[in-house]
Amino acid sequence: MREAHPVERSVGMAYYVSDADGTGGRLRDSPADFRVRELEAVDPEPVEADSGSYPHLLLRVELRGWDTNDFAGALSDKLGISRERISWAGTKDKHAVTTQLFSIDGVDPDDLPDLRDADLEVVGRVGRPVLFGDLAGNAFEVVVREPDRPEAVEAVTDDLRTFAGAEGSVTDDGVTVGVPNYFGQQRFGSRRPVTHEVGLALLGEGFEAAVLAYVGNPSDREPERTREARAHVEETRDWQAALERFPGHLGYERAMCHRLAEVDGEPGPADFRAALETAPTNLQRLFVNAAQSYVFNEILSARLERGLPFAEPVAGDVVCFRDRDVDALAVPDTGRTQRVTDGRLETVRRHCERGRAFVTAPLVGTETELADDEPGEIERAVLEDVGVEPAAFDLPGEFHSEGTRRAVLVRTELEVKHEPLTFEFALPKGSYATVLLREYLKTDPEGLE
């Protein structure tokens, strides 16, 4: 194993599993260099279906240079509706060309506006909003510009084939590679990775600490004006002055400061909760989800340190089973799990070898039951070190989480093309392209965003 970049280590990604040198290079010189297409798992009714029974209009949208949240906001503004009436199956980065599903409650096709760099295709109607579970995965086509060592691809691929437990697995569609199913840097923020710190503060000290972790907490990787505004918040708690100091593009920080500046006297816990709840509901959920993700990453790094396998279980592990295939992509069903005992170990290993089962680790929540034996020791040690226990996730509103489990390994069929260096692959929902690409480039994670 090879030690990861310090910024990656700060969010729990302690290692590369490939010891080989990276290619270097840059991603996203233009949005067209990073193409993402959702692998859909939705069966809509025709657009002519009764809008009373199927009130949500389903769209397939190609976006060029749009952040998902920003597009949803612009679309709601154009339609003159609350943004809460717009839902999507997966969040995408703005520095890409993305094809993804959106649903809109209570609008007709004729209501749809024109928006720059966005092509909207009506695909039908659904009875409920599209949600994260409606996405099977994503297909990627990623170009690396000006790699320093393009020849390094072969050595990295050999290492990742071994990690996948798929030596010799080469098909017409590419080669099977695997990486730890880390949550990527964008889960936490590439320039200022703090969303997990907000969540951990919320789980521990409460709403005031969470607001300060988001609004304060300056990073050396930010512009000077932004650092100064955050430092001023921490030093003075002068919310009105902070509102005047924050640049206009930091809308969420400004909204929190504005809410607290309206308070007559010193803000109390209810005021800090209200300030945090000025963020969109998906961002509120992200704070706690990012804390879960950080703990998960730490568990995976500890598993690597212990030398436990990822492609097959050991006694005490909890596995989940294969749900379905979408475009030949195996999707884990984390709702179907089984503890691995010594008596079942060989049988479950064979299931994992055939891609029918997956070793998991917890995304900790109120309903989490930890693994047994050595995997359980790892999970308990990480939770103790972080200072989090499952009961802490019993929070109000969007901040509550019952938890689930997640596969520790992600495999994919990878095809590599040269001139320009291009990677083509597909991943199940919730897995990050940059977690695979970081193994190949081995650069500052900001260059992967």
292 residue type, one letter? Q
Is 135 within 8 Å of 89 (Cβ atoms)?
yes
Q: Which of 43, 50, 77, 93 is catalytic?
A: 93
- Exposed/middle/buried for residue 149 (C-beta within 10 Å: 0-12, 13-18, 19+): middle
Q: Cα–Cα distance between 365 and 376 in angstroms, integer?
A: 15
Closest by CA position to 32, among listed 156, 127, 117: 117
At residue 320's C-alpha, the angle toward residues 373 and 355, to 5°, is 110
Within 8 A by CB and 6+ apart from 87, the residues are: 56, 102, 103, 105, 129, 130, 131
Q: How many CB atoms lie within 10 A of CB 390?
A: 18
Cβ contacts of 235-238, under 8 Å, gap ≥ 24: none
Q: Cα–Cα distance between 267 and 219 in angstroms, integer?
A: 25
93: annotated active-site residue: yes
What DSSP character marks residue 18?
Answer: -
The catalytic residue positions are: 93
